[in-house]
Amino acid sequence: MALRTLTKKGNPILEKKCKDVKEYNESLWTLLDDMRETMTKNNGCGLAAPQVGIIKNIVVIDVNNMQLELINPKITYQSKETEVDVEGCLSVDGISGYVERPRVVTVKANDRYGNEFTITGEGYLARALCHEYDHLQGILFTQKMIKPYKPDKEK
């Protein structure tokens, strides 16, 4: 495993729509392992491939002691009920803000071997799934931010 360099806001890679993965092989597995290590070392809970300069539909998430690898994810359900909470991003330094997201989402994806699975997330997991999926569409949370989070003024 190896740490990958994080792509930062302003890099046009973060604005591109990603392409589907077609080959499930050792190269993909290495990328997934590297992404997980990079996410963990940077104290993240999710990381999408464009955040390490790869324009592919690949996401890793670590939320509530649940480690997920999603290849070619598609959101198949979003609840009408929403929640507003604070988000940040490893690709956006020094900014966090309030974003409205569905309270429940269902995602269909493939695992590292190409096996299809479906996962439904609520609350924080739903937020992470949506945030990382947005990365694959070339969307940063700052584009959906209702207002910035300023911890010293929130008290």
Q: How far apart are CA 61 and CA 39, in angstroms?
A: 9
**Within 10 A of 67 (CB to CB), how many other CB atoms are there?**
11
Q: What CATH superfamily is the domain 12-153?
A: Peptide deformylase (3.90.45.10)
Prediction pTM value: 0.95
Cα atoms in the Cβ-side hemisphere of radius 13 Å centred on 117? 12
Residues with catalytic function: 132
Task: Produce one character per residue of 83-122: b if its CB has 16 or more CB atoms within 10 Å, e if not.
Answer: beeebbbbbbeeebbebebbebbbbebbebeeeeeebebe
Place of tokens 């609520």: 122
Q: Which residue from 65, 73, 2, 64 is spatially nearest to 33, judged by alpha carbons?
A: 2
pLDDT digit string, tens, across residues 54-108: 999 999 999 988 999 999 999 999 999 999 999 999 999 999 999 999 999 999 9
The ranges assigned to domains in the chain are 12-153
Give the model confidence (pLDDT) of 24-51 as tens digits: 999 999 999 999 999 999 999 999 999 9
- Cβ neighbourhood burial of 136 (10 Å; 0-12, 13-18, 19+): buried
- The token pair at 151 is 């911890």
Q: Is the CA virtual torsion 141, 12, 67, 44 positive or negative?
A: negative
- Alpha carbons 40 and 50: distance in angstroms, whole number: 17
